[in-house]
Structure formats: structure tokens, C-alpha cells
Amino acid sequence: MKLGGLVAIPMVLVMRQPDLGTSLTYLPIMGVGIFLAGLRWKYLASIGIIVLIVLPLSYSLLQDYQKARLVSFLDPDRDPRGSGYQLIQSKIAVGAGGMWGKGVTQGTQTQLRFLPVPHTDFIFSAFAEEHGFVGIVAVLALYFVLLMQIVQNAQTAPDRAGMYVCMGVCALFLFHLLVNVGMVVGRMPVTGIPLPLMSAGGSNTLSTFLMLGLVNNVRLRRFVN
């Protein structure tokens, strides 16, 4: 409960922006932390029951645009020129890439501006259209290598604090990756969560390198008593 209170403070502050997507990124960090700390299964079950009760009740607290995103996720064709437009164009862009893609700067959805602001949250759609399935596999493989390297740093950390830092960063990166990629292919609701190391944005890039710097700091001290 104390840990939940500490995490709830920044979550509420970010949610009041309002930025629900970014506020949810605190949950995987806390989840991995309490799991590695050895929380008992009965407590995990209690937390799960509380979440199942709170989620339906929290729908009424969402902003109108957030509710529209959930509706468009379930049925994007319900408003194809409004809330469902970006998701529909994103799926078209991903499918248009085929096996090898259309080539750099040759994507029709991106270059003809059918896909709005492709350089931010939907950068993966633009990349998929230009580089195809092969390019997607290559990028996901690079992300996998990065995540496994962070996990390896956690395993060789000199203390538990370093291990928690590395696994928290890994959980955050994995959450961003799953939500963003799932979003552009229609498997997750549209949120403002960027794709690390690919989406445009100064604050996101800065925070990403700060987190990687923390991981590297743990690695440099892996042989310190």
C-alpha cells in the first residue's frame, strides 16, 4: 500500500495534464518491482480483484476524447472520418508495405498525408509502409536485443537496487513497445505513448537516454563489492 501511494502521486499529477497514456506507464514499473521483491500470490490476487472492480468504474472519469478513442478502437468504422480515421489509415499503411516495403519516402499513406503526424505516435506505421515486413522484423529484433541486454545488466547488478533500476527500465520500454506497436495495427487503443528511439520528440528522447544512462551506470559497477 505504501508503494502504491508513492506511485499514485506522480500518476495523478500526469493524469491531470490530462495524459492518461503516460500516467499508465508507472504501472508496469511498479508491477515488475513488487514481483521481483517477492510479493505473495494472495496479495497479487487481491490487487487483481481491485483492478477488475476499479476499471469499469473509472470509465466515467475519462475525458470525452478518451472515450472516443476506446469506441474507435472497438469499431473504427463507426466514425471513419473522425475518431477512427487515424487508426484506419494506420492499418492501411502497415498492410501496404507488403513483404519488402515501398522504399524510403515512397509510402503513399505517409507522403500524401493520409496518415496524420506519422513522425510521432504512428512512426511505426510509416516505417512499416516503407520497409515492409522484413524491416519490421529487423526493428523488433533490435528492440529484443536491447531489452535482453538490459535484463543481462540486471542479472549482473552488484545490488538489488541496481537490479530494480534495470528491470524497471526494461518494463517501461517493453510497455511502450507493446502499446505503440499494438496501437498502429489496431490491437490496442490509440494513446499518446511514443515508440522509444523512433518517435520524434525532444522530451521522450531525453528521458530515453537518461534511462539507458542509468542502466549503463549499473553495468559499470557490476564488479564493485
CA atoms within 13 A on the CB side of 65: 7
The H or E element containing residue 210 is: helix 202-220
Buried b (16+ CB within 10 A) or exposed e, 13-30: ebbeeeebbbbbbbebbb
Q: What is the pLDDT of residue 121?
A: 85
* DSSP per-residue string spanning 147-205: HHHHHHHHHT-SSHHHHHHHHHHHHHHHHHHHHHHHHHTTSS---SPPPTTTS--HHHH
Structural domain boundaries in the chain: 1-61, 64-220
149-153, 159-163, 182-186, 220-224, range with the lowest pLDDT: 220-224
- Per-residue CA distances from 55 to 51, 64, 155 (Å): 6, 17, 34
Please give the residue that has the higher pLDDT: either 93 or 222: 93
CB 150 within 8 A of CB 174: no
Please give the residue that has the higher pLDDT: either 16 or 61: 16
Measured CA to CA, the distance from residue 81 to residue 29 in angstroms comes to: 36
Per residue in 15-29, pLDDT (tens digit) is: 888 788 888 888 888
For residue 216, the one-letter residue type is: N
- Indicate whether 189 pLDDT > 80: yes
For residue 63, the one-letter residue type is: Q
Q: What is the pTM of this model?
A: 0.85
Measured CA to CA, the distance from residue 93 to residue 114 in angstroms comes to: 9
Q: Predicted confidence band at 224 (pLDDT cuts at 50, 70, 90)?
A: low
- Indicate whether 60 pLDDT > 80: no
